[in-house]
Structure 1
């Protein structure tokens, strides 16, 4: 095992990943930790950063903002023992490519910022060269081991406790119905309008109590996933007791009677505080709705339950397998210390990014799609021009092939997806004009 305090740097960009990284490192007080935000179109604004750091020991002074091109040099000067990469798959791969240039080489840890059932193919494919991949429940541990085996990925998996799931006391007597809005679900405009109608009806049914729509970004800010139709627009005409909130989820839950969500990790935060939950099943229970994790929890409820505020507490048996395991089971930091010791002794070889099909053009493509307008290289422009039609052809082939069969998105009985992502995010995201940070 290592001796002394390890130097840890989290490298992140988008809101949910910054929140996860800060809370994860806050759970390791014996480490000297910093956060680096790499400039991409998804990088948090100053307001989003403040919200993401809320409740942790980190403040603005613990955060460094860098352009992508300065990252390898900064890491070489700072000489961290460990780098935690907190970002979507393409971002993680891009950062790992920069770490290949860093000497001495740190141990590389990756992970996902919340509920990760179903375990998705891309989560493993993009992070398979990391030294340690973090999961947050025994169920996720089983799912990702199974997925890595099926993808022939040599992935070391470490069990952490979801940092938002630490039990905490809260003031009694909350009266708010808090709705955790999500960009990915429900997906269609019709379904999102139906959710808006349910929230409006819930507010009208109890005019003396608030319905709080908890949003993660203001107009002009980006978040991890594209919100194609915001609830601000859908609820422009609303009762006075139906309000929007941009405060941290922890603060919103402090005055909550109960939480409503389709599949947000906010449900785990609420459970940790003793706040009852309704996992809205109006649109079904499926991998597509990202809510199969709640099977057996006793939390599912329909629109009528939301309007009547019939919130539920989870079944005890569900808790131990889903994010509320014994803290002693979470040995990820022991794994990190062991990996650092091996690296210092020369026993841990570097897991460098391999040369993939497409060579330098592919590297330029992957850099461009992560950095967007932050990448002004000629190679990035050329790669985008060449890659766009190729990508279109690949997506057509995927649609024709479908997502059917065992362990696909259509297979609701399994916790993994060996088939490609069900939804495609916009290839390029623009950095909002006038957003600070």
Structure 2
């Protein structure tokens, strides 16, 4: 009962994630909302963050201040936990197949929360799988005006009418530049570039930058220590490629915000760390040595003024973004970030019975296909007999179909290069599990 002068109870918000980049995104997104009750569930999958990765992901948030608001949980216990907790809002934070699997668990609840999902970084071009797997959420959060337009266009093209909301990239904290810092920070990516020779070329560029000025450090910022996993599976890691590096070339596993505190500039191919750096007043080089194309995820930097080559990196010719590009790409007026206002309206609609549930339909392959999907996300954490059978019987079929789709899509990823969305297969498809499996959308 609400008495005169009393205030409504705070909304209960639960974020559910597993992999490092998604946990960081969800923790910071939720944490930037004032006056809520918040909790973070870390579901056990092959991609679940280690304790060190978790600490880095939640650094600077209320989750770090209150460790009991973070809970590790088995997938089989998620629905019961939510049924007891009765959240008003659930934020699903994981790769696309994880989001769909968790959506099925939410469908089991008698009291259904508002379901929000989103993407943890730069998401141009908008990918079909990224939206299609989230089409049963009540709201999808992206981080630039350009992405809102791209995903709205994509939704119309594929018939996925998911409301798209704008939020400022939650871990991009605006700050003034700090003159006197001297580190060249390289933001490594697991999948970009994918070719071993290209990654060796980047390693050589970094080595040359270190040799060019032994008085200044080159910091290779990595997201996982040996034995840890990330949202995407890295091959040809930089610790291996830079085995005999100069003394002033070092590796860092600290949070990106900490690495940027001593950065003169940041170098990357297409990491979202570029946005985090620019927000902190740190200039950037978006490395275009390998071109600008969809599979490098760097088309978003066209017109930014940030693209530069190996010589620019060695000479440390960092640059700040073009203001017009910045306004459209991730640096909009913070007052335009109204995702939470949209969430509040959705909560009110659900409470009044005016917001229908967006339930996930049964898969076309029936129970066996559903079991395969669960097994594909959970890996060894799925100990069910149906999961094991589905892995043996369905995986070869799905793998063959995925291979056919990729062959049909070969050469088409840039066919719509003038658009900010693509209907072609993801240029960076990879398995969810860390052993050979059928390909899945990457976001």
TM-score, structure 1 normalization: 0.96
**Cα distance in 1, alignment partners of residues 207 and 225 from structure 2:** 21
Which of 57, 63, 69 lines up with 1:58 in the alignment?
Answer: 63
**Cα distance in 2, alignment partners of residues 257 and 287 from structure 1:** 28
Which of 414, 418, 432 lines up with 2:423 in the alignment?
Answer: 418
Which of 139, 142, 150 lines up with 1:135 in the alignment?
Answer: 142
Contact 1:287-1:410 at 8 Å conserved across structures: no
**Cα distance in 2, alignment partners of residues 136 and 197 from structure 1:** 33
**Cα distance in 2, alignment partners of residues 110 and 75 from structure 1:** 17
1:150 CA drift (Å): 0.5
**2:210 alignment counterpart:** 203
Structure 2 residue 359 is the aligned partner of structure 1 residue 352: yes
**Cα distance in 1, alignment partners of residues 360 and 399 from structure 2:** 25
Q: Secondary structure at the match of 1:353?
A: coil
Which of 39, 55, 74 lines up with 1:34 in the alignment?
Answer: 39
**2:440 alignment counterpart:** none
**Cα distance in 2, alignment partners of residues 169 and 313 from structure 1:** 13
1:170 CA drift (Å): 6.1
Q: Secondary structure at the match of 1:164?
A: coil
**2:257 alignment counterpart:** 250
Which of 158, 163, 174 lines up with 1:167 in the alignment?
Answer: 174
**Cα distance in 2, alignment partners of residues 251 and 416 from structure 1:** 33
**2:197 alignment counterpart:** 190
Which of 112, 116, 128 lines up with 1:109 in the alignment?
Answer: 116
**Cα distance in 2, alignment partners of residues 3 and 335 from structure 1:** 18
TM-score, structure 2 normalization: 0.94
**1:326 alignment counterpart:** 333
Which of 308, 315, 319 lines up with 2:315 in the alignment?
Answer: 308
Structure 2 residue 220 is the aligned partner of structure 1 residue 213: yes
Distance change (3 Å), C-alpha of 1:197 and 1:329: same
Structure 2 residue 348 is the aligned partner of structure 1 residue 341: yes
Mean Cα deviation higher: 261-270 or 395-404? 395-404
1:422 CA drift (Å): 2.0
**Cα distance in 1, alignment partners of residues 365 and 307 from structure 2:** 46
1:106 CA drift (Å): 0.4
1:3 CA drift (Å): 4.2
Structure 2 residue 20 is the aligned partner of structure 1 residue 19: no
Post-superposition CA distance 1:252-271 (Å, at most 9, x none): 00000000000000000000
**1:386 alignment counterpart:** 393
Post-superposition CA distance 1:127-163 (Å, at most 9, x none): 0000000011000000000001101011111111111
**Aligned length in residues:** 427
**1:435 alignment counterpart:** none
Structure 2 residue 52 is the aligned partner of structure 1 residue 47: yes
CA RMSD of aligned residues (A): 1.3
Post-superposition CA distance 1:77-103 (Å, at most 9, x none): 000000000000000001000001112
Q: Secondary structure at the match of 1:368?
A: helix
Structure 2 residue 102 is the aligned partner of structure 1 residue 95: yes
Post-superposition CA distance 1:88-126 (Å, at most 9, x none): 000000100000111211000000100011111111110
1:169 CA drift (Å): 4.0
Mean Cα deviation higher: 158-167 or 61-70? 158-167
Distance change (3 Å), C-alpha of 1:399 and 1:94: closer
1:397 CA drift (Å): 1.5
Q: How is 1:397-416 mapped onto 2 (pairs within 5 angstroms)? A: 397-405=404-412, 408-416=413-421
Unaligned runs of 5+ in 1: 431-437
Contact 1:280-1:300 at 8 Å conserved across structures: yes
Q: Secondary structure at the match of 1:288?
A: helix
Q: Secondary structure at the match of 1:48?
A: helix
**Cα distance in 1, alignment partners of residues 84 and 407 from structure 2:** 49
Mean Cα deviation higher: 394-403 or 197-206? 394-403
Q: How is 1:228-267 mapped onto 2 (pairs within 5 angstroms)? A: 228-267=235-274
Contact 2:191-2:234 at 8 Å conserved across structures: yes
**Cα distance in 2, alignment partners of residues 199 and 392 from structure 1:** 37
Contact 2:406-2:425 at 8 Å conserved across structures: no
1:404 CA drift (Å): 4.4
1:393 CA drift (Å): 1.8
Mean Cα deviation higher: 158-167 or 64-73? 158-167
Q: Secondary structure at the match of 1:254?
A: helix
